[in-house]
Amino acid sequence: MKKEEDKKIKKNNTASPDVGNWFYTDKVKKHFFNPYKFLKDGEEFKADGEGVVGSPACGDMMKFWIKIDKKAGKIIDCRWRTFGCASAIASTSALAEMLTEKGGMKIEKALKITPQDIMARLGGLPEIKIHCSILGDQALRAAIKDYQNKQ
C-alpha cells in the first residue's frame, strides 16, 4: 500500500523535472538547470554597463552586466543574476545566449529584442509566466542605457 501511495506522489510531483509533468519546454529546462552566462559567486566580470530591475519585495529581481566592443558597437559578453522563478532564470539565460552568439550583437539590434523573441527562443512559456521574460528585456535595456550614459 505504501509503495502505491509513493508512486502516486511521485507521479503528481511537478516540482521535480525528473518525475511527473514538467510545465516547461526542454529549452526552458536546459536554461534553468544550466544557466548560460550566470555570474557565479566569486567570479569577476568587468562590465561596461549594468542594469537592475525588479524588487525583492515583490518577487523577481534581476541584475544584468554587459561588456561592449566599443569599435564595433556590439555586446560581446554579459553576465546576470536573478532572484526569481524558473521562467525568469531561463529567459535571462536565453537572452544572454542570443546576445553573445556569433561574436556578439550590435547594440541597436539588442535594443530591438522583445520578450516575445525571448519566449520564441525558449519554445514558449506558460501564460502565467510571460511577465518573467520581460525582466531580462528590461535589465538589458537598463544596462545599455547605463553604458551609453557613461560615454
Instruction: Provide the annotated active-site residues.
Output: 58, 132
Residue type, 5: E
Greatest C-alpha distance within the chain: 69
Structure-block grid coordinates of residue 141: 535595456
Half-sphere exposure of 33 (CA within 13 A, CB side): 10
For residue 58, the tally of other CB atoms under 10 A from its CB is 7
Only one residue has cell 553576465, namely 79
φ, ψ at 35 (rounded to 5°): -65, 135
